[in-house]
Structure formats: C-alpha cells, structure tokens
A and B are shown apart, each in its own frame.
Chain A
Amino acid sequence: MLKLPIYLDNNATTPMDPRVLEAMTPYFLQHFGNAASRNHPFGWEAEEAVDYAREQVAKLIGADPKEIIFTSGATEGDNLGIKGVYEMYASKGNHIITATTEHKAVLDTCKHIEKSGGEVTYLQVQPDGLIDLKELEAAIKPTTILIAIMYANNEIGVVMPIKEISAIARKHGVLLFTDGTQAVGKIPVDVNKDGIDLMAFTAHKMYGPKGVGALYVRRKNPRVKVTAQMDGGGHERGMRSGTLNVPGIVGFGKACEICMLDMEEDSKRISKMRDHLQTELLKLEEAYVNGSSEYRLPHVANISFKHVEGEGLLMGFNKNIALSSGSACTSASLEPSYVLKALGLGDDLAHSSLRFGLSRFTTDEEIEYTIKAISETVLKLREMSPLWEMYKEGIDLSTIEWAAH
C-alpha cells in the first residue's frame, strides 16, 4: 500500500532504521553513564558501548578504531578537520586547495581561514561536476598544506576521483581532507585504499540519529594531528572535548554495521529505481540530468525541467512528495544553487532543478507515483508558462536581455 507523503529528500537526512533505535534505547534510561566516569560501573558500561561503536564505525571505512574522533556531525568534522590542520601545520604553510562545489561547512570554514591570514584556492569544476586533476596539481605550491575535496556532492551526487586526488596529494606531501557525508554508508569508502588523511561524516545521512558524527584522523603514514577547536576535558585524544553522546554514538555504530552488511544489495536495488525514475522523467521534453551520470552515487539524481521554476514545480506535489530544489540549506532563498551554477548552468536550468535522493526504504510504488505526479505538474505548468510558449514559437530565450525594473 502506498503511504503518502513520500520521502525522497534523503540527501538532507535519512529516516532512522528501526534497528538503530532499538540499539540506542537502553542507553537513555538504563545505561545512562558518562563514558568518562572511570570509577564505577555506569561509566564502564558507557565506555564499553562507545568502544564497541567506535569499532563498528572504523570498520565501515577500513580505519583503526583509534582513528575515529566522535563529533556532533559533519559540520563540526569539517571545521575541526580543516581549521585543526591549518592551525597544527602553520609552520609548514598556510595554503589550502578546495573546490567551488563544496558544502557550505567547508567553504565557510575556508573563508574564515582566509580572514585569519590563510590562503585558499577554489578550484572550478568541469560541466560534469568533477574537478580537473591537472588543475589541482598545478594549484599546489610549496606553502600548500591541505587539499579539501568532498567524496560525493550533496546536490548532484557526483563522486570525485578521490584515489587520484590522493595520489597527487601524496606526491607533493600535502594532506587530503574529504567530506564523506554523502558517500559513507552508500558506496564503499576505504581510508587506506583511497588514501584519505582526514574525513568528516555523520550518522543521520546513513539511517542513524542526528547530532552525532565522526572525524577520521590518520594515525600512521603519515601521523596526522589537528588542533582542538573546543577547550575542555580533553576527550577523544585531546582533539574534541565534551561529554560523549553515548546513545547517539551507539546508534551511529549500529547504523554503520547495517550499512556495511546491506550496502551492496541496497545500492543495487536503489540504483535500479533511480535509473527508472530518471529514464521516465527524461521522456519529458527539455529535461536534463545535472552532473556526471557515470561517476555518481547510486541513490541520487538531479534533474532540471527547462522553462518551469523549481519552487513552482515543488508546489504542485510537495504535500505528497518531499523533494528539494537546490539543497535544503539554500532553498530558503531564491538564489539559484551555487553548485548548479558552478557546473555552468544558466539561471533558467539552475532554477528549474529537482534533487531526488532515494533510500533503502524507498519502494517501486513510490517511484511510480512520483514519476506520474512530476510529469503531470511539469506539463501543467508548461501549458501556462510564457517561457515555454516562446520556446515553442522558436524564440531563443538566451538572446533576450532581461532588464531589471
């Protein structure tokens, strides 16, 4: 039975897996101890639970448990990873390389660093959303200490060539930080095979709870250190003070364990649904996929429907289908998505985009309903769209100069 509303905004957050909630429950009421309490059973239980979760999290990304620093989420991980390296390696240099399509948590962190005297290079992306490796290598200078490139993009789902980026970083003795938020738990991520030195990720994008995440910090070849960004009790090997969110961490661990077991099967099933959705929607005239279709997460599709406006499109069905136009972080403003603009899309295409993010709970029925609802809305809006009428009359809209008034 089809249940409305349908949730297809899984890049914003995923629903929690009931198995995760089940694992967390005892740690609210029975085992409520502080993991840092060393001298009684309440503390021991909590510490044991955290240690176990740390192993589960580490295993998913091929890391050593000691390399996992628990945080409040990926934004904190991005801040701690980038600012922490910038401060720790100040004697080596002050130059960071990143890309224009990064998440705001990375871009604004870099802007903060620029204000405090650092230098940042923002690489442009190619029309498919991937960075040019030659440009990356050319941007490296003697003062470069860090490359910060995301694993997979939150708006268009493209997966960056992390292994190749890492090879360049290693060759020049530069550290590699990656924001793994959208990738971890969805596609195989292995910090050793991929050559990652630091990686931020979060539980709530992989069926875990909100408010908990991790920063992976490499301990061997090379040994990486970050300067703590919060002062306090020196938790997490001195890198992140603050009482550990024990129930959250337990849930995060469980979510990682489930992803590890189910990833392969889930992604096969989900990508089949995503491909079907995309094929059917591209049957509409003037519909385009944004970003690379080849190097892309299995559950994401970002599609533009020319000559209709994204918000207007959403209004047609957002009572029944939860979707984003642009990303959730920027859709409160009417500015078109900076990620889509970075791909070289004009305002018209950037404004008319929808982001589909499927999950392990998405069903075939939901996809069929979505295809029908979106197709109908696009056709209905185009029927009364003056832009569509002009397009049909053969007027090239890009030749019109729109004056402000």
Chain B
Amino acid sequence: MAYSEKVIDHYQNPKNVGTLDKGAKNVGTGLVGAPGVWRRNAPSN
C-alpha cells in the first residue's frame, strides 16, 4: 500500500510545525490527543 502524494508532501514538507515561546504571556500550554500532540496556543489577537 503506497502513501498518497498528499501524505508524502505533508511528510516531506511539514506544515505548521514549531515551538512557541512558553515563557511568553500570550502562549498557553496544553496536552491534546493520544499520544503526543503537545500544543502551545497563542491567540492571534
């Protein structure tokens, strides 16, 4: 079973990946998902 082009593209060119500064005032931290989406959300406004 081969992977679709879309999956391979996301794998090779990861999107929306990175780490926000957890010390910043407008960055919140939470654990989501099973297992392992470690998310820091910064409100856009």
A370 to B34, CA, bound (A): 31
Contact-size category for A: 10 to 19
- Kindly name the residue among A347, A348, A386 whose own CB sees the greatest number of chain B CB atoms within 10 A: A386
B interface secondary structure, majority: loop
B4–chain A nearest beta-carbon distance, Å: 12
Within 8 A of B (CB), among A341-365: 347-348
Does A387 contact B38, Cβ atoms closer than 8 Å? yes
A308–chain B nearest beta-carbon distance, Å: 11
Contact-size category for B: 10 to 19
Closest to B3 in A: A315
Of A312, A315, A389, A405, which one neighbours B33 at CB under 8 angstroms?
Answer: A405
Does B31 contact A400, Cβ atoms closer than 8 Å? yes
Residues of B within 8 A of A403 (CB): 34
A332 to B1, CA, bound (A): 9
Does B35 contact A389, Cβ atoms closer than 8 Å? no
Of A315, A386, A400, A402, which one neighbours B11 at CB under 8 angstroms?
Answer: A315
Closest to B35 in A: A402
A12–chain B nearest beta-carbon distance, Å: 15
Of B3, B17, B38, which one neighbours A390 at CB under 8 angstroms?
Answer: B38
The answer to the question of A404 belonging to the interface, with a C-beta cut-off of 8 Å to chain B, is: yes
The answer to the question of B37 belonging to the interface, with a C-beta cut-off of 8 Å to chain A, is: yes
Residues of B within 8 A of A332 (CB): 1
Residues of B within 8 A of A390 (CB): 38
Residues of B within 8 A of A29 (CB): none
The answer to the question of A384 belonging to the interface, with a C-beta cut-off of 8 Å to chain B, is: yes
Does A384 contact B11, Cβ atoms closer than 8 Å? no
Within 8 A of A (CB), among B1-45: 1, 3, 8, 11, 14, 17-19, 31, 33-39
Does B34 contact A384, Cβ atoms closer than 8 Å? no
Residues of B within 8 A of A312 (CB): 11
A61–chain B nearest beta-carbon distance, Å: 37
Does A386 contact B34, Cβ atoms closer than 8 Å? no
Chain B residues near A (Cβ < 8 Å)? 1, 3, 8, 11, 14, 17-19, 31, 33-39
